[in-house]
Chain A
Amino acid sequence: MNSIENVSRRGFLKVAGISSGAFVLGINLPISTAQAKSAAALSHELNFFVSIASDSMVTLVCHRSEMGQGIRTSVPQIIAEELEADWQKVSVVQAKANSKYGSQGTAGSASIRNHFTSIRQIGAVAREMLEQAAANIWQVQRSSVKAEKHFVVHTTTGEKISFGELASHAAKLTPPGSKKVKLKNNADFSLIGKDIKLVDLDNIVAGKAQYAQDIQLPNMLIATIVRPPVVGGKVLSFDASEALKIKGVVDVIALKPRSIPVTTNPLSGVAVLANNTWAALEGRKKLKIKWQHGDKASHNSSEFSKKLAKKVNQQGETVATKGDIYNHQYNDKNTLEATYTVPYLNHTPMETPAATAIVNGNKCTIWAGTQNPQWAKRNVAQELGLAKDEHDNIELNITLMGGAFGRKSKADFIIEAVELAKTSKRPVKVIWSREDDIQHGYYHSISANYCKAELTDNGSADYWISRNAYPPIGWLWDAEAKTPTDNQLALGFGDIPFALNNLSIEKHAVDSFVRPGWVRSVACINNGFALGSFVDELAVKAKLPTRQMWLNLLGDDRHVDPNKNNFKYSNYDLDLTAHPIDTKRMKDLINLISDKANVEQKLPENQGWGISFLRSFGSFVAAATKVEVVNNKVTVLEMHTAVDCGIVVTPDRVKAQMEGAMIFGLSIALMGEISVVEGKVQQSNFHNSPVTRMNQVPEMHVHLVESDAPPGGIGEPGVPPVAPSITNAIYHASKTRIRDLPVNKIFTV
C-alpha cells in the first residue's frame, strides 16, 4: 500500500537544497523521490518523488534503473500525465537505493507492468492537492476546479493559477489516500502513448552521459581483478613482486576466499590497484597465481549438453498434467519427437561491470549501475557487517547502465569495490575487462528441451509431452538445488496455451557447474525455442502452413488457466484475470505477423520464411524472419515482430525494444555460445564470442497493436520468438532443421 506523505516542511529539505515554499510529496512504499533545484544535493535518506517549486518547475524522481529501455522517461511521463504537468517544465532525478520506494528491482520487464497504477497514483495525489489548494483560495468546491497543463483552472470562470503559485498552499495540505484519488480515463491521456523527448538523449549524444565506468574521484585507485578460472576455485599462492614494479601500481590485494553456494558474492581472486587503468592492466599481466580449481573443473559443456539431451528423452518429474499420456499407444506415423539444446549464453553488455566505493568506518558511499539497488545495498551491509538500523549508512548512487540484460542485477562487482575500498582505505573503482565479463558471468543455463505430440485428424495435435533440463538459478543460493522452481517453470513451459486433452509437462534434476543468471527473457529463451520450433515441425509433418498449426493448436477463443493442469502458475506475478492467457490475442497476433510479413508468399527455392510466437512477461510477441541459404551460408533478409503489450506508455521505446530484441535474438540464434572445458570458459572477447554486427542486420519492421488492456512487459518479451523464427526459416529455405543452437555450428552466418 502506498503511504504518500506531504514532506514540504521537513527540515531536511533545506539540507537538500530545496527552496522554501516548494510543494514536496514523499512516499513510504511503492515510489520515489524528488526535489526542486539541486539534483546533486539530493540526500540519500530522502524519499520524495515529486516536487513543485514556486517557479512552477517540477522535479520527478525515477526510482527504477535505466539500462537503455527508456524507463527514466516513461516513469516520469506517467507521473506527469496524472499530475497534469507540462513536460517542458519537468526535470528528472534518479532515486538512490532506498527501501521506502518499494521495489526498485529493475528486472523481469516489470517496471510498468507491475507498477503502472502505483506510479499513476503518485501524480494523481499531487494533482488533487493542487486542485484542493486552488479551491481553497477561490473558496469553491473542488469539483469546480480542474488541473490542466501546469495550471489549476476554475471551470466556470476560466480563472487559473499556476502550479508554482499553488505550491506553497498545497504544501500545507494533508494528502488524500492514494487509493482514493481518481485516475484519468485512458481516452484523456495526453502524455501516455505519446513519444516525448527522452530524458537522457541530449547527454548521450553529447558524450556527457555518466555510466559507472565514468566515475572519477580524487585519490581514487583503479582495480582490476584476476578471478579463479573455475567457479569455486581458490588462490593457493601468488607472487606480486613483478606487478608492483609497474609504475602506477599501488597495491596488490588478495580478495577474501568465498565458498559455494556462490550467492551474489564476488568470486574472490587477486586485485591489482593502480593510479590509472593502464597501470592496473599492465600490473595484472605480471601477476603469478597458483590456483586450486576445485571440483567444478570436471565440467565440459559439450559432453554436458549431450547428457541433458539424454535426460529429457526419459520421463521426468511432473510439473503439470492433464488426461493420460502414459497409457496411450502413440501412432508412430503421426507422432513427432524432438530434442532441442541451447548452450550457455552471456549477457555481454557494452559497458562491462564497474563500481566505485568509499568506505569510511561504518559508512560507505557507492556509485554503480545496478538493476537492483536495494538488494545491492543489503549485500553491501552484510559485507560490512552493518546492523539493520545502520543500512542507511550506505549511500548507493545509481548511474546509467551501458546495457545490463540481467547481468547487473547481481551485486558481485559492487561488493568487490567495497571489499577493496575497505582494505585499501581509499576510493576504489573496480573495472571488469571484456575478458572478465565473458569468462566470469552469470550465464543463461545450458539446456535441453524435449517435445512429443501426436497429430490429430483435425490438423492439430494431442498427447503432448514437454520436458526440460537445465541447471537452476536457485543453485546460486542453495548448492543442493537441482530443479527450477514453479516460478521459473512458468516461463514459456508450464503455461502452454494449446487446446490439449492430454498433456504432461516434466522437469529433470541437474547439477550446476558455473554461475547461472537471468539473461534477457531467461528460460523463455530455451522454452520458447523448443515450443516455436516444435510447432513448425508439426506443421511440416501435417503439411500445413505454420500459421495454421498455431491457430489449430490454440483452438477456440478462451482464457487458459494453467492451474487447471495442477501447475501452480504465477503469471509473472500478474493477476490472471487482469492479464489472462488470451488465445484470441495470440491468434490475432499470429495472423497479423503472417499477413504483414506475407509469410505464405511464393519464394525462390533457397529462401524461406519462419514464424514463431510466445507470450511472456504479460505481453504477446510474434516474430517472422526471411532467410536465404546459399552455399552453406545463411543470410537473414527481413525480420518482423508484432507486439501486443496492452497500454503503451512510450511507443517509440517499445519499438526500440522490439528492434533490439530482434538483434539480441539474432545473436543468440546465429552465434550465441559460451563453452566450458575443464570448468573454464573458452571464449574471451568479441573475436571468439561474436554478437550481431551491422552487416548481419536485415530490413526490420515492428507492428504495434493498439490496446486498452493493462500494460505488459517490454524489455524481454521480444526475444523468445526470434530465434525459432530464424531456425524455422532456415528449414523452409534449406530443409535443414536446426535443433541445437547456435546456427553457426552448421552454417556460415
Chain B
Amino acid sequence: MIKMTLNNKPVALDVDPQMPLLYALRDELKLTGTKFGCGAGQCGACTVHVNGVAMRSCITPVSAIAEQAITTIEGLADNNGNLGESAVQVAWREFKVPQCGYCQSGQMMSAAALLKAIPLPNDEQIIEHMQGNICRCGTYQRIKAAIKSAATHSTVANSVTTDLAGMNNGVEIFDARQLANKKQGA
C-alpha cells in the first residue's frame, strides 16, 4: 500500500509499485485530467506537481512518490489558495488558449509550477521551462501571453502566501529516477 496526499486529501494505492503515477491516477483513481502523450517524459501532457514541483507522471513510479504531496489539474485551483480557479486557469480562459485542449492540463501544471518558482518570468525563462510541453495544435503564442498575464495578476498573492525558501530558482522537471536517487541519497 502506497500512501500519498493527492489534491490535499490522503490516498492509499494498492498497485504495482513500479506503475507510473499517470496510470494510477487515470485507471485506479479515475482522475483523467492528467493525460497520456508519449509515455517517455518527452511531451509534458502528463505533468503533475510533486510537492509543488512539475513532474512527468508517465515515467514516475508510484513507489517514488510515497508520502509526497501530489497535485493534479483537478486540484490546481485549491492548491493555489484561490476559491475559484488558479491564476493560470483564469489566464488560460482569458486568452482562449486551448484548441483541442488535450495537452493543456500539462501546460497549465507546468506553467503553475514555473510561476511558483519564478513569480515574474521573462520570455527566456518561460521558453526554457515550457519547451518540454508539446502542443500539436500550436497554442504556444497564447500560452506565453497567458503565463505573463497570470504572473502579473498573481505576483502579489504569491509573494505573501508561497513559501519559496528552499526551492530551486528554476523549475525542475524531475523524472522518477532523479527523485528515487535523491531519496536514496537522503
Real binding pair: yes
Q: Is the CB of B140 within 8 A of A403?
A: no
A207 to B32, CA, bound (A): 8
In B93-107, the 8 Å CB interface with A consists of 93, 96, 98-105
Partner of A209, one of B27, B30, B101, B126: B101
Which B residues touch A405, using CB under 8 A? Answer: 136
Is A552 part of the contact surface with B, judged by Cβ < 8 Å? no
A402 to B134, CA, bound (A): 13
If the complex has contacts A204-B101, A351-B100, are A213 and B133 also in contact, measured as CB distance less than 8 A? no
The segment out of B35-43, B160-168, B173-181 that lies at the interface is B35-43
Which B residues touch A685, using CB under 8 A? Answer: 38-40, 42
Q: Is the CB of B39 within 8 A of A434?
A: yes
Partner of A206, one of B38, B73, B128, B139: B73
In B149-167, the 8 Å CB interface with A consists of none
Most chain B beta carbons < 10 A, residue from A198, A276, A663, A694: A694
Is B12 part of the contact surface with A, judged by Cβ < 8 Å? no
Question: For residue A404, which residue of chain B has the nearest CB?
Answer: B100
Question: For residue B106, which residue of chain A has the nearest CB?
Answer: A350
Q: Is the CB of B137 within 8 A of A403?
A: yes
The segment out of A62-70, A87-95, A156-164 that lies at the interface is A62-70
Is B34 part of the contact surface with A, judged by Cβ < 8 Å? yes
The segment out of A290-298, A328-336, A652-660 that lies at the interface is A652-660
Q: Is the CB of A350 within 8 A of B136?
A: yes
If the complex has contacts A276-B23, A434-B38, are A207 and B105 also in contact, measured as CB distance less than 8 A? yes
Is B51 part of the contact surface with A, judged by Cβ < 8 Å? no
Is A210 part of the contact surface with B, judged by Cβ < 8 Å? yes
A659 to B92, CA, bound (A): 16
Question: For residue A67, which residue of chain B has the nearest CB?
Answer: B100
Is B121 part of the contact surface with A, judged by Cβ < 8 Å? no
Minimum CB–CB distance for B17 against chain A, Å: 11
A348 to B28, CA, bound (A): 27
Is B80 part of the contact surface with A, judged by Cβ < 8 Å? no
1/0 per residue, CB under 8 A from A, across B116-149: the answer is 0000000000111011111111111111100000
1/0 per residue, CB under 8 A from B, across A289-329: the answer is 00000000000000000000000000000000000000000
Q: Is the CB of A207 within 8 A of B34?
A: yes
In B46-103, the 8 Å CB interface with A consists of 72-74, 76-77, 85, 89, 92-93, 96, 98-103
1/0 per residue, CB under 8 A from B, across A619-633: the answer is 000000000000000
A200 to B43, CA, bound (A): 23
Q: Is the CB of A697 within 8 A of B137?
A: no
In B10-44, the 8 Å CB interface with A consists of 15-16, 18-20, 23-24, 26-28, 30, 32-40, 42-43
Q: Is the CB of A278 within 8 A of B19?
A: yes
If the complex has contacts A663-B140, A685-B42, are A350 and B102 also in contact, measured as CB distance less than 8 A? yes
Which B residues touch A206, using CB under 8 A? Answer: 33, 73-74, 77, 85, 89
A195 to B94, CA, bound (A): 12
Question: For residue B99, which residue of chain A has the nearest CB?
Answer: A68
A401 to B85, CA, bound (A): 24
Q: Is the CB of A694 within 8 A of B143?
A: yes
Minimum CB–CB distance for B119 against chain A, Å: 20
Partner of B102, one of A202, A275, A402, A661: A402
Which A residues touch B38, using CB under 8 A? Answer: 434, 685-686
If the complex has contacts A206-B89, A660-B138, are A351 and B96 also in contact, measured as CB distance less than 8 A? no
Is B108 part of the contact surface with A, judged by Cβ < 8 Å? yes
A109 to B20, CA, bound (A): 38
Is A400 part of the contact surface with B, judged by Cβ < 8 Å? yes
Which A residues touch B141, using CB under 8 A? Answer: 659, 697, 700
Is B113 part of the contact surface with A, judged by Cβ < 8 Å? no
Minimum CB–CB distance for A472 against chain B, Å: 26
Is B45 part of the contact surface with A, judged by Cβ < 8 Å? yes
In A222-253, the 8 Å CB interface with B consists of 222, 247-248
Is A379 part of the contact surface with B, judged by Cβ < 8 Å? no
A226 to B157, CA, bound (A): 50
Q: Is the CB of A662 within 8 A of B138?
A: yes
A365 to B78, CA, bound (A): 37
Is A387 part of the contact surface with B, judged by Cβ < 8 Å? no
Q: Is the CB of B138 within 8 A of A350?
A: no
1/0 per residue, CB under 8 A from B, across A636-654: the answer is 0000000000000000100
Q: Which of the four size classes fits the interface of chain B?
A: 35 or more
Which B residues touch A663, using CB under 8 A? Answer: 135, 137-138, 140
Q: Is the CB of B40 within 8 A of A691?
A: no
Partner of A211, one of B93, B102, B108: B102
Is A682 part of the contact surface with B, judged by Cβ < 8 Å? no
Partner of B103, one of A213, A281, A350, A401: A350
Which A residues touch B142, using CB under 8 A? Answer: 656, 659
Question: For residue A274, which residue of chain B has the nearest CB?
Answer: B27
Partner of B101, one of A200, A348, A657: A200
Q: Is the CB of B108 within 8 A of A205?
A: yes
Is A180 part of the contact surface with B, judged by Cβ < 8 Å? no
Minimum CB–CB distance for B112 against chain A, Å: 12
Question: For residue B20, which residue of chain A has the nearest CB?
Answer: A278
Minimum CB–CB distance for B26 against chain A, Å: 7
Which A residues touch B18, using CB under 8 A? Answer: 278
Question: For residue A201, which residue of chain B has the nearest CB?
Answer: B93
Q: Is the CB of A349 within 8 A of B100?
A: yes
Partner of B36, one of A201, A210, A348, A352: A352
Is A543 part of the contact surface with B, judged by Cβ < 8 Å? no
Q: Is the CB of A216 within 8 A of B30?
A: yes
Most chain B beta carbons < 10 A, residue from A70, A201, A204, A352: A204
1/0 per residue, CB under 8 A from B, across A58-102: the answer is 000000001111100000000000000000000000000000000
A405 to B27, CA, bound (A): 27
Q: Is the CB of B140 within 8 A of A350?
A: no
Which B residues touch A433, using CB under 8 A? Answer: 39
Which A residues touch B19, using CB under 8 A? Answer: 276, 278
Is A393 part of the contact surface with B, judged by Cβ < 8 Å? no
A400 to B103, CA, bound (A): 13
A248 to B16, CA, bound (A): 10
Q: Is the CB of A207 within 8 A of B98?
A: no
Q: Is the CB of B138 within 8 A of A692?
A: yes
Is A214 part of the contact surface with B, judged by Cβ < 8 Å? yes
Which B residues touch A211, using CB under 8 A? Answer: 35, 102
In A531-553, the 8 Å CB interface with B consists of none
Which A residues touch B20, using CB under 8 A? Answer: 278
22 contacts between A and B (CB under 8 A): A68-B101, A206-B77, A206-B89, A207-B72, A207-B73, A210-B32, A278-B15, A278-B23, A278-B27, A279-B16, A350-B37, A352-B36, A434-B40, A656-B137, A656-B139, A660-B137, A686-B134, A691-B134, A692-B140, A693-B132, A694-B143, A697-B141
Given contacts A350-B136, A659-B139, 11 further A-B contacts (CB under 8 A): A200-B101, A204-B98, A205-B98, A207-B105, A211-B102, A276-B19, A278-B23, A278-B27, A348-B136, A350-B43, A402-B100
Instruction: Give the 5 A-B residue pairs with the shortest CB-CB distance, closest first.
Output: A207-B33, A402-B102, A663-B138, A68-B100, A207-B73
